[in-house]
Amino acid sequence: MGIFTITWCVDQKSQFIGQSGAFLDAVERASRAAPMARPVLVIGERGTGKELIAERLHRLSDRWEEPLVVMNCAALPETLIEAELFGHEQGAFTGATRAREGRFEEADRGTLFLDELGTLSMGAQERLLRAVEYGEVTRIGSSRPTRVDVRIVAATNEDLQAKAERGEFRADLLDRLSFEVITLPPLRVREGDIEVLADYFGRRMAAELGWEQWPGFADHVHDAMEEHPWPGNVRELRNVVERAVYRWDSWDQPIGEVVFDPFDSPWKPLTSPAAPAQVNGAAEPTTPTPATPRFDQVDDLRGAVEAHERAILEHALGANRWNQRQTAKALGLSYDQLRHAIKKHGLADNG
């Protein structure tokens, strides 16, 4: 299966890149839903590309020449969300020095993308439901409704069904917005896409730095990226890859070091421990969280130790640009001991 790429703009910032079946299914569902003037709910973890799906739904619809208005519901305090959505008249509240149209009026005949939908207050949800049902919005401070023609695309990383069952989200609004639901797969289940995306972001960063060629990644770096859980998904992957490329000095050698946590440092400031919970004036004893077993599946101790030693050597050699004397010093070995370990694990050719 080939790589699937869609470019919306000349700066190539709005792209879908991938080849996994789960990814292609989600994109295909968005393509089918795009011509329908119905609400669409996009669900996915952070960094999975929810805004790109919203953009695709807009660009492939009959509204593509009209505005695509984006509003992050979590970026505004609750007191301002309704004014942002529906607008306000002059003097409607303190600070309203002039009348202002809301996002619904701005998106008239186009698409309104509501990101982080689950953070809307119940009051804003009620007014949103009325706007979706009747196609009318009323500015704060006005009694006259305004007709609007807006296609709603909403996104969330929360379980809105569970919130509706708990009474934290309006079930009738959820029903109205879920004509189609597109759930984006996290990067960790997109088979083959980590390598494809890492190569794409790496090549682009290398070109930006003016490298004469793209050396690719060393095998142990590929393995580390495949094993990483990627809680930040594609956004996190892009940062990790671009950081690895710009920190690497030898453009003629495969990149041998990757840092997943940029905050990891031996000089990281220590945070104050949280105060223990109080129960009836006494400190509540805390139960230590048991560590997740990591070795319960080992049935070959010698093989497991050998594999662990090899992984340490590969990482240290990559981090030191395959400078063996620096690597030996970093690992507390003599040069001869390191040479023996390299030969033992067959790493000489990798260097």
Which is nearest to 63 in space by CA: 87, 29, 86, 40?
Answer: 40
Residue 59 CB coordination number (10 Å): 16
Question: How many distinct structural domains can be found in the chain?
Answer: 2
Q: How far is CA 18 from the centre of its chain?
A: 15
With respect to residue 115, please indicate whether it lies within any of the assigned structural domains.
yes
Q: Per the domain annotation, does 59 fall within a domain?
A: yes
User: In angstroms, what CA-CA distances link 57 with 24, 38, 142, 147, 238?
Assistant: 15, 11, 33, 23, 24
Q: What per-residue confidence (pLDDT) applies to 290?
A: 39
Across 101-123, b (16+ Cβ under 10 Å) vs e yields ebbbbebbebbbbbbbbbbbeee
Same domain, 215 and 177: no
Longest pairwise C-alpha distance within the chain: 85
For position 224, which CATH number holds?
Answer: 1.10.8.60
Q: 171 with 202, same domain? A: no
* pLDDT at residue 283, rounded to an integer: 45
Q: Identify whether residues 117 and 209 lie together within a single domain.
A: no
Last residue of a domain, one of 143, 170, 185: 185
Q: What is the rounded CA–CA span in Å between residue 146 and residue 169?
A: 26
Are the beta carbons of 233 and 194 closer than 8 angstroms?
A: no
Residues 41 and 139 in one domain: yes
pLDDT of residue 340: 83
pLDDT in the model for residue 288: 39
Sign, CA torsion 76/79/80/82 = positive
Can you give the pLDDT at residue 12? 47
pLDDT confidence of residue 107: 95
Q: How far apart are CA 17 and CA 6, in angstroms?
A: 7
Residue 254 within a domain: yes
pLDDT for position 274: 55
The answer to whether position 140 is within a domain reads: yes
Write down the pLDDT at residue 182: 97
Q: Indicate the residue among 167, 185, 203 that finishes a domain.
A: 185
Same domain, 151 and 173: yes
Residues 151 and 212 in one domain: no
Per-residue pLDDT, 292: 42
- From the first residue on, what is the mean pLDDT of each consecutive set of 10 residues in the chain (351 residues)? 42 71 94 95 96 96 96 86 86 78 93 95 91 90 90 96 95 96 95 96 96 94 94 96 95 93 83 54 42 58 81 81 80 84 76 47
Residues 201 and 174 in one domain: no
pLDDT score, position 349: 53
Domain C-terminal end among 169, 185, 201: 185
SS3 at position 16: strand
Say yes or no: 128 and 199 in one domain. no
**Does 198 lie in the same domain as 131?**
no
Q: Is 277 part of any domain?
A: no
CA distance 320 to 248: 10
Q: How far apart are the first and last CA of the chain?
A: 32
Closest by alpha carbon to 246, among 259, 265, 236?
A: 259
Task: Identify the CA nearest to 344 among candidates 313, 322, 321.
Answer: 313
Same domain, 137 and 107: yes
Specify the CATH number for the domain of residue 131. Answer: 3.40.50.300
Q: 42 and 149: one domain?
A: yes
Q: Which domain covers residue 210, as residue numbers?
A: 189-264+303-344
**Same domain for 17 and 119?**
yes
Is residue 255 domain-resident?
Answer: yes
pLDDT score at 294: 54
**328: which 2 tokens?**
């030996």
In a domain, 322, yes or no: yes
Q: Is residue 272 domain-resident?
A: no
